[in-house]
Amino acid sequence: MTAREPRAGRAVLAAAVLLGSCALTLAATAAARETQGGAKKPGTGGVKLTKLAAGLDQPVHVAAAPSLRRNLYVVERGGRVLVIRDGATRETPLFDISDSVESGNSEQGLLSIAFHPHFERNHLAYVYFNQLDTDNLVAEIRTDPKGLRAIGEPRAVLEIPHRDDFPNHNAGALQFGPDGLLYVSVGDGAESEQAQSHDSLLGKILRIDPRRRGSEPYTVPTGNPFAQGPGRDEIYALGFRNPWRFSFDRLKGAIAIGDVGSDAPIAREEVNFRKRGKARGSNFGWPRFEGKALIDPDLAAPGAVAPILAYPHHGTCAISGGYVARDKRLPSLLGRYLYADFCSGQIRSLIPSQGSASDDRPLGVRSLQSVSSFGEDAKGRLMLTTLNGSLRRLDPK
């Protein structure tokens, strides 16, 4: 395994990405979508949205620690992580790093949190944010055993340079994969050509072991596609514009990635999907392709993998990628991938497979404006946040 040091002297903690400022509402009609073969049906039935919290300050992510079923953690873009314990929001946050986070642009801020699979033993969590100099940082947080407060100072793990004159396209989702390693989504920094460069961390999904090894802040698995040759060792997959949210199927280990579209007339919002381990080294095509549309014929994207679903980008809309549902309380959704659009607020689901999606349809619940993220609790129940301050859970009617 090899490692790369974060640049010295950087402030710890500041994380990235909101999907983009969305001023227009997307008309959620069947004609506006390319479902690549899926049938249209009105809703799934038997599902409702239960409000768990309101009055939050621009929540952009919700997560759980695998061993703490009483706790939920809500990431606020400004720099706080709140603890919801037994249904009540605690007055004292897990931590507040507002003074270290740059959130002046709508796509900047503290973005996400992920808890180590062995949190019960090591009490470690990881966050991603924009530092005050706009560079992105993955940092390690240690908490008390109950996961109620951070202990000590954050530790810088991985710094990702980001031009200060291009504050957008940070992406910034963190997920531990079925292999126990940390995956990090990084936007192209509004420099689209970087997504195809093997020497840049921008426009990629990265894979690292974030734990300290002696003097090394993290290590890179030898199985990463470029770990044994030219290119940045941390890269796991490439060719993304702004992969705001991605997730792993908790049952089968497949990866699903929502990549936010551009403003070009033929631009598309994307859902990308690969079976467990099959995304390793995959090129998802940006900026040569968006959806199946040719965007930049002068830039190569060897072996580009097409999305399983693409729908037209209207105005300033953006996909909020979700999860494959595995909550047995919701049998009509089992095995279906849920996602939403930040502008239309419509929540939809589809049946994913590696080659294509089928049966893309509305969930059958009311639309929610500004859906910023989905999440799972420790029991695998699906939740979502809205930028206007709410946290909701999908429950049976």
Residue 300: C-alpha distances to residues 193, 267, 288, 294, 295 (Å): 10, 18, 6, 11, 11
Amino acid letter for position 380: G
Which pLDDT score is estimated for 45?
57
Which pLDDT score is estimated for 362?
94
Instruction: Look at the chain and count its residues.
Output: 397
Q: Residue 39 has which token pair?
A: 């049938």
Comparing CA positions, the residue from 198, 218, 159 lying closest to residue 281 is: 198
- Distance between CA atoms of 364 and 186, rounded to whole angstroms? 32
Tell me 16's DSSP state.
Answer: B
Which pLDDT score is estimated for 167?
84
Q: Residue 307 has which token pair?
A: 């999305």
DSSP string, 74-135: EEETTTEEEEEETTEE-SS-SEE-GGGB--SSTTBSEEEEEE-TTHHHH-EEEEEEEBTTS-
Amino acid letter for position 116: H
Cβ within 8 Å of residue 54, ≥6 positions away? 389, 390, 391
When computed from its CA atoms, the radius of gyration of the chain, rounded to whole angstroms, is 19
Q: Is 51 exposed, middle or buried (0-12, 13-18, 19+ CB in 10 A)?
A: exposed
Count of Cβ atoms closer than 10 Å to residue 39 Cβ: 9
- Distance between CA atoms of 289 and 394, rounded to whole angstroms? 34
CATH class of 30-396: mainly beta
Amino acid letter for position 319: I
Read off φ and ψ for residue 146, nearest 5 degrees.
-85, -5
- pLDDT tens digits in sequence order for the chain, 397 residues long: 444 444 333 333 333 334 443 333 333 333 333 333 333 343 445 899 999 999 999 999 999 999 999 999 999 999 999 999 999 999 999 999 999 999 988 889 999 999 999 999 999 999 999 999 889 999 999 999 999 999 999 999 999 999 888 888 999 999 999 999 999 999 999 999 999 999 999 999 999 999 999 999 999 999 999 998 899 999 999 999 999 999 999 999 999 999 999 877 778 999 999 999 999 999 999 999 999 999 999 999 999 999 999 998 664 489 999 999 999 999 999 999 999 999 889 999 999 999 899 999 999 998 898 999 999 999 999 999 999 999 999 999 9
Instruction: Judge if the upstream peptide bond of residue 287 is cis by omega within 30 degrees of 0.
Output: yes
Which pLDDT score is estimated for 267?
81
Q: Is 114 exposed, middle or buried (0-12, 13-18, 19+ CB in 10 A)?
A: buried
Judge contact between 383 and 50, C-beta under 8 A.
no
Q: Residue 225 has which token pair?
A: 């596609």
List the chain domain ranges.
30-396
Cβ within 8 Å of residue 330, ≥6 positions away? 46, 47, 382, 394, 395, 396
- Distance between CA atoms of 289 and 269, rounded to whole angstroms? 12
Cβ within 8 Å of residue 262, ≥6 positions away? 241, 290, 295, 313
- Alpha helices, DSSP H, located in the chain: 119-122
Judge contact between 35 and 360, C-beta under 8 A.
yes
- Distance between CA atoms of 301 and 202, rounded to whole angstroms? 15
Q: Residue 33 has which token pair?
A: 């979508």
